[in-house]
Amino acid sequence: MSATRYTYLGPAGTFTEAALRTLPEAATRELVPLASVPAVLDAVRAGEASGAFVPVENSVEGAVTATSDELATGTALMIYREVLLPISFALLVRPGTALDDIKTVTSHPVAQPQVRRWLAANLPDARWESAASNADGARLVQEGRFDGAFAGEFAAPIYGLEPLVTDIHDAANATTRFVLVGRPGRVSSPTGADKTSMVVWLPDDHPGALLELLQEFAVRGINLMRIESRPTGEGLGNYCFLIDCEGHLSERRVSEALMGLRRICPQVRFLGSYPRADQGRPTALRPGTSDEDFSLAADWLSRALDGRGEA
Amino acid sequence: MSATRYTYLGPAGTFTEAALRTLPEAATRELVPLASVPAVLDAVRAGEASGAFVPVENSVEGAVTATSDELATGTALMIYREVLLPISFALLVRPGTALDDIKTVTSHPVAQPQVRRWLAANLPDARWESAASNADGARLVQEGRFDGAFAGEFAAPIYGLEPLVTDIHDAANATTRFVLVGRPGRVSSPTGADKTSMVVWLPDDHPGALLELLQEFAVRGINLMRIESRPTGEGLGNYCFLIDCEGHLSERRVSEALMGLRRICPQVRFLGSYPRADQGRPTALRPGTSDEDFSLAADWLSRALDGRGEA
Amino acid sequence: MSATRYTYLGPAGTFTEAALRTLPEAATRELVPLASVPAVLDAVRAGEASGAFVPVENSVEGAVTATSDELATGTALMIYREVLLPISFALLVRPGTALDDIKTVTSHPVAQPQVRRWLAANLPDARWESAASNADGARLVQEGRFDGAFAGEFAAPIYGLEPLVTDIHDAANATTRFVLVGRPGRVSSPTGADKTSMVVWLPDDHPGALLELLQEFAVRGINLMRIESRPTGEGLGNYCFLIDCEGHLSERRVSEALMGLRRICPQVRFLGSYPRADQGRPTALRPGTSDEDFSLAADWLSRALDGRGEA
Amino acid sequence: MSATRYTYLGPAGTFTEAALRTLPEAATRELVPLASVPAVLDAVRAGEASGAFVPVENSVEGAVTATSDELATGTALMIYREVLLPISFALLVRPGTALDDIKTVTSHPVAQPQVRRWLAANLPDARWESAASNADGARLVQEGRFDGAFAGEFAAPIYGLEPLVTDIHDAANATTRFVLVGRPGRVSSPTGADKTSMVVWLPDDHPGALLELLQEFAVRGINLMRIESRPTGEGLGNYCFLIDCEGHLSERRVSEALMGLRRICPQVRFLGSYPRADQGRPTALRPGTSDEDFSLAADWLSRALDGRGEA
């Protein structure tokens, strides 16, 4: 029954599953791992699942471009939640394996730069090879094809392995950001610490358009949190931008800015307003940009149009 | 009866009266000259007249600061019409006077720089003295206290004088701009070539505020036509700005910009939207700033909030 | 001998003279009052004086446009000093006159709004008439043509009068700003709290030019202190702007901004860099805009051009 | 001998090699394929090669992030040339193979979306599997492990294959951009149609910094050609930006803009100024931004500082 089904980027035992399980509602959903980002999202588009959970960006590797491209094109989807997961690896081995026994290790290529320094210091002679996913690496260890796999500690029991070393990560604060995506629906109420995501296409032949676009945010005191350029497929030099900004579409400063983008740009795709997962408090509003300020200004306008500007 | 009475900056026989008479409705109004800009405007404030006609700026002398200050402070008024009058002087003399007879000339001080070059070339030995107005100068010639007065040719019959020389003006295109002012009322419909006037006070202690204020116009593609700074009376370095921009308050780009100013500035006084008197066509709208563009963007927003962003 | 002569806007006994005498060097100069701002400045242009002292703006009345226009046009001059003088009036009378004896009062028209409220409260029946200057008003009282004159208290002994009431001023903090002007010369060293003045003409047919011009300052973190528009004489809608900004032309952020203006605008007239007369400390520099920051950036550029960007 | 050696992203027979061979000098260099972008660039860093040739971005797939990250971090390198190569695939088969014989095909994953539509229309039942590179896919066909490989037509003779179908590409104008990289050296002379590349790190805790950064370009009339965000590794939300702009570092508008960035940003890495490979003419310079305009403005400044501003 699709309403209770969430798809996610599999296989089971990856960080994606671990992140998904931090959502309270995950406990009551059927969680279905699928092999690719398009497959995960298409299941929602086809009505076979009510939610799709995919990685968006990693603080070391950058954007997950498959997710960016899927959100920017095809049938529109909407982001309802985000999850931030600190990334830390365990070295998983078959029970009984000691550090000295390890000659070969494996992991997803994305993991490799995050364990490189640890490897050089602790297993300088071990040979690393890539796996299709960290969980798949664990499976290969289970099958005896490698001696160790770098993966989340939570993957160990799934594959009958033991974490020999834990908390391995080269970059301090390595974090991956995931989003829960669904079919477009009514935007839920703001929480006071929200984020809004969108994709904008620049007008052709307008070199200053990116600056104009950013000024739609700046003039209304809205901070940008992320900007990612992606090719439009129309040839080199043609980009669309995935943008995350502070605030919620139901806030006046945000809605007015997005309408401004809509007037400038040939296409704007709204990707959702949802609660910020970072603990940080939102930046204080710039004076004159609260909903109350907008409301007072609208009252002022009505009076001015009516000849009662300073009654 | 005040509804049919217009006051104007007198005395009779000045350029102000000539400009006022270019308004078709002037033919059916009682036109009352008063001695000062405050007096002219206070008559409207007090309900003794329905319109007040005053000069705003001259292309040679600049702003008429008495008008600026009266519009910026005191009981609010609104501009309903503007008139541009090319300024050209006649040398008025008593009948029978020849150029060689002229030893003394007079005019309002504002006229002096506009006839200086003509005087140096044609009456190098004549002594100039100031009069309270050009019309008053004509009266002094009538009384025999000066030999010639620089004034509008139309003043000659009023004072029993003759125009000895006409079309005197040093600066090409010398023009004075006048406005018809009334008590605040419902803003009339746009004509397609309108102008909007306002006074804005900058927030304290905010050195970049003038730039922010101009960006509220720029981001919505609105051209400024005039900006004049006036002291607020709160000490040196504190200014308010009288601003004229293209467009009409009922146009979305203009109303959104003014609401933006209202949110930034401690005070904004709307002075009216009225037809442009210059023959020039308005600058073409920047793409994305027409009322239709605003309307399409608002529709887009409604759909986005409703989860039907790209239905 | 012109090198020791300063001209100033007379007559003697006005606030202008009082402000001039606050300059230490005034004690060793021959101070010559002249009747008009052009006359005062032309004396310097002609080499008949080494300095000219004129009012620039008043916190109640605004710009002294005669000074603005003289600085913007004609042979170039340069500002070397500024003086701020709080304006407060005394009611000067012939010895023996009591308040009840006063039926007629006089002053320069600029003084009238600053004493209006005092008059209404204390001499509601007195008739006010304008004089050519406050000092001239004092002379007229001496001659018995008026009963009282509003002028600076310092004018009393010059005209054999007595200050009957002192410290009269309606607006709190009424202040006039004066400048000492000379022929252009080498810009003197910065003091750390300087101001730079200039006149800029906007390019034709370029509605966004004023914003671009302000951005040349903003992008380099320079605060504007004053902006005044004046007509260019080329017809309504054509303005030049007198601008005062923080900083000194020898500072890199300022010189780069002015070169930026020079590239955008058809004409830029530098009017001088000179010490600020207000006691306030200059606004803290925005990070990245000190001379040292500019110097480090230039070093970086040299290395980059040389292929040693990060040696 | 390293001075005549160029490394490139191998293996032989890929589009990268084909692009490299469009450089005239390639004919006289020893061309050495290496297995990864870091390996290719490290050979130059170590002095084992004088040039390294790597892909930067593809109009369908976007940035080659391995190249971005290598250019942004580690020992500094510089871009000397760029090459644009239209991407079009051939279906390579063993001699004698007919379309109907093909049950399995392979290619690098990046090629897959570019041939997807062709596959669906022409070989709907064929199974696609990924190869380490397009050339490696050809080798696997040679070995009989697949029936067909999508690769550049030029790869056919290397692997004893035949192009069965050519000119396969889903996206019109699919193009890959490559750069020739070397150790930092003196920037060569501008050609009149140049491009400048850099990496900038935003200051911490400064939400408006991206806008300020773009204004350093805008205020000097410089068009941006590309902007790519990459994580700094300091945690989510911290990005650096790889930027390509029009113009050459030896042009004043460009050098002043980059010095402006250098003053704002904690780090700016100059990546080179080099001829644009696109045939398009550079955008006309905005008035006031030519080197001559800068030079005239500098002359004006010297005169102003010297008191000869309008001599």
Query: Which positions in chain C touch B227 (Cβ < 8 Å)?
Result: 210, 227, 229, 239
Distance, in Å, from the CA atom of B257 to the CA atom of B266, rounded to the nearest integer, reads 15
- Give the pLDDT score at A110: 80
- Residue D100 tokens, joined: 């109907």
Q: What does R_g of chain C's alpha carbons equal in angstroms?
A: 23
Nearest CA in chain C to B205: C283
- Give the pLDDT score at C310: 66
Q: Which of C58, C214, C233 faces B60 most closely, judged by CB atoms?
A: C233
Residues contacting residue C197 through CB under 8 Å, at least 6 positions apart: C79, C242, C243, C244, C270, C271, C272, C273, C274
Tell me the CA distances in angstroms from D285 to A267, D194, D220, D293, one per residue in order.
29, 13, 10, 11
Q: How confident is the model at residue A281 (pLDDT cuts 50, 70, 90)?
A: low
- Give the pLDDT score at C52: 98
- Give the pLDDT score at D311: 46
Distance, in Å, from the CA atom of B7 to the CA atom of B33, rounded to the nearest integer, reads 6
Q: What is the percentage of chain D residues whose pLDDT exceeds 90?
A: 77
Q: What does R_g of chain A's alpha carbons equal in angstroms?
A: 23
Q: What is the percentage of chain A residues whose pLDDT exceeds 90?
A: 77
Q: Which of A63, A172, A229 faces D227 most closely, judged by CB atoms?
A: A229
**What is the CB-side half-sphere exposure of residue A200 using CA atoms within 13 A?**
25
**What is the CB-side half-sphere exposure of residue B132 using CA atoms within 13 A?**
13
Q: How confident is the model at residue A311 (pLDDT cuts 50, 70, 90)?
A: very low
The yes-or-no verdict on residue D1 having pLDDT over 70 is: no
The b/e string for D183-220 (b: 16+ C-beta within 10 A; e otherwise) is bbeebeebeebbbbbbbbbbeeeebbbbbbbbbbbbbb
- Give the pLDDT score at D268: 96
| Segment A52-103, tens digit of pLDDT | 999 999 998 899 999 999 999 999 999 999 999 999 999 999 999 999 999 9
Average pLDDT for chain A: 92
- Residue C225 tokens, joined: 């202190």
Domains of chain A with bracketed CATH:
1-87+174-185 (3.40.190.10), 89-167 (3.40.190.10), 187-310 (3.30.70.260)
Nearest CA in chain C to B215: C211
- Which residues of chain C carry a pLDDT beneath 70? 1, 279-282, 310-311
**What is the CB-side half-sphere exposure of residue B309 using CA atoms within 13 A?**
25
Q: Which residues of A touch B (CB under 8 A)?
A: 76, 78, 183-187, 203, 212, 215-216, 219, 249-250, 255-256, 258-260, 262-264, 268-270, 287-289, 293-294, 296-298, 300-301, 304-310
Of B310, D113, D202, D258, the residue nearest A227 (C-alpha): D202
Strands D194-201 and D267-275: antiparallel
Distance from CA of A115 to the nearest CA of D (A): 14
Q: Do residues A198 and A222 touch, judged by C-beta distance below 8 A?
A: no
Residues contacting residue B12 through CB under 8 Å, at least 6 positions apart: B33, B135, B158
Greater confidence (D172 vs B212) lies with: B212
Q: Which of D260, D294, D305 faces C187 most closely, judged by CB atoms?
A: D305
Tell me the CA distances in angstroms from B225 to B242, C144, C230, C238, one per residue in order.
11, 50, 13, 9
Distance, in Å, from the CA atom of A176 to the CA atom of A19, rounded to the nearest integer, reads 9
What φ, ψ does residue C215 adopt, rounded to 5°? Answer: -70, -25
Q: Where are the alpha helices (DSSP H) in chain D?
A: 15-20, 37-45, 65-72, 112-122, 134-142, 209-218, 252-264, 291-305
- Give the pLDDT score at A73: 92
Average pLDDT for chain D: 92
Distance, in Å, from the CA atom of D308 to the CA atom of C288, rounded to the nearest integer, reads 30
The yes-or-no verdict on residue A169 having pLDDT over 90 is: no
Q: Which residues share a beta bridge with B128?
A: B105
The b/e string for A118-136 (b: 16+ C-beta within 10 A; e otherwise) is bbeeebeebebeebebbbb
How many CB atoms are located within 10 Å of the residue D281 CB?
A: 9
Q: Do residues A32 and A49 touch, judged by C-beta distance below 8 A?
A: yes
- Give the pLDDT score at B310: 66
**Which of C145-154, D111-120, D201-210 shows the lowest mean pLDDT across its residues?**
D201-210
Distance, in Å, from the CA atom of A269 to the CA atom of C39, rounded to the nearest integer, reads 66
- Residue D216 tokens, joined: 């350093």
Is A262 within 8 Å of B300 when comparing Cβ atoms?
A: yes
Distance, in Å, from the CA atom of B182 to the CA atom of B78, rounded to the nearest integer, reads 5
Strands A30-34 and A5-9: parallel
**What is the CB-side half-sphere exposure of residue C8 using CA atoms within 13 A?**
25
- Residue D139 tokens, joined: 């080798």
Distance, in Å, from the CA atom of B171 to the CA atom of B151, rounded to the nearest integer, reads 16
- Residue D308 tokens, joined: 């000869």
Give counts: helices (H), strands (E), chain A. Answer: 8, 15
**What is the CB-side half-sphere exposure of residue B237 using CA atoms within 13 A?**
16
- Give the pLDDT score at A130: 87
Q: Which of C212, C259, C269 faces D297 most closely, judged by CB atoms?
A: C259
Which chains does chain D touch, 3 or more C-beta pairs < 8 A?
A, C
Tell me the CA end-to-end span of chain A in Å, nearest whole number.
Answer: 61
Q: What is the ipTM of this complex?
A: 0.89
Distance, in Å, from the CA atom of B150 to the CA atom of B164, rounded to the nearest integer, reads 10
A135: left (phi over 0), alpha (psi -120 to 50) or beta: alpha
Nearest CA in chain A to D130: A132
What does the DSSP 8-state code read for residue B55? Answer: E
Tell me the CA distances in angstroms from A88 to A141, A147, A168, A170, one per residue in order.
19, 19, 6, 9
| Segment A13-56, tens digit of pLDDT | 889 999 999 999 999 999 999 999 999 999 999 999 999 999 99
Tell me the CA distances in angstroms from A240 to A237, A246, A308, D274, one per residue in order.
10, 20, 45, 25
The b/e string for C3-13 (b: 16+ C-beta within 10 A; e otherwise) is eebbbbbbbbb
- String of DSSP letters for B224-268: EEEEEEEE-SSSTT-EEEEEEEES-TTSHHHHHHHHHHHHHSSEE
What does the DSSP 8-state code read for residue A23? Answer: S
Residue C91 CA, distance from chain mean position: 26
Kindly tell me whether chain A and chain B come into contact, counting contact as 3+ Cβ pairs under 8 Å: yes
Distance, in Å, from the CA atom of B128 to the CA atom of B104, rounded to the nearest integer, reads 6
Distance from CA of B311 to the nearest CA of C (A): 38
- Give the pLDDT score at B60: 86
- Give the pLDDT score at B311: 45
* pLDDT tens-digit profile, chain B (311 residues): 578 999 999 888 889 999 999 999 999 999 999 999 999 999 999 999 999 999 999 998 899 999 999 999 999 999 999 999 999 999 999 999 999 999 999 998 878 888 988 999 999 999 999 888 889 999 999 999 999 999 999 999 999 999 999 999 877 778 999 999 999 999 989 999 999 999 999 987 677 889 999 999 999 999 999 999 999 988 888 899 999 999 999 999 999 999 999 999 999 999 999 999 986 666 788 899 999 999 999 999 999 999 887 64
Kindly tell me whether chain B and chain D come into contact, counting contact as 3+ Cβ pairs under 8 Å: no
Distance, in Å, from the CA atom of D205 to the CA atom of C249, rounded to the nearest integer, reads 31
Distance, in Å, from the CA atom of A83 to the CA atom of A176, rounded to the nearest integer, reads 8
Average pLDDT for chain B: 92
| Segment D13-72, tens digit of pLDDT | 889 999 999 999 999 999 999 999 999 999 999 999 999 999 999 998 899 999 999 999
Query: Which positions in chain A touch B216 (Cβ < 8 Å)?
Result: 219
The yes-or-no verdict on residue D207 having pLDDT over 80 is: no
Query: Which positions in chain D touch A67 (Cβ < 8 Å)?
Result: none
Tell me the CA end-to-end span of chain D in Å, nearest whole number.
Answer: 61
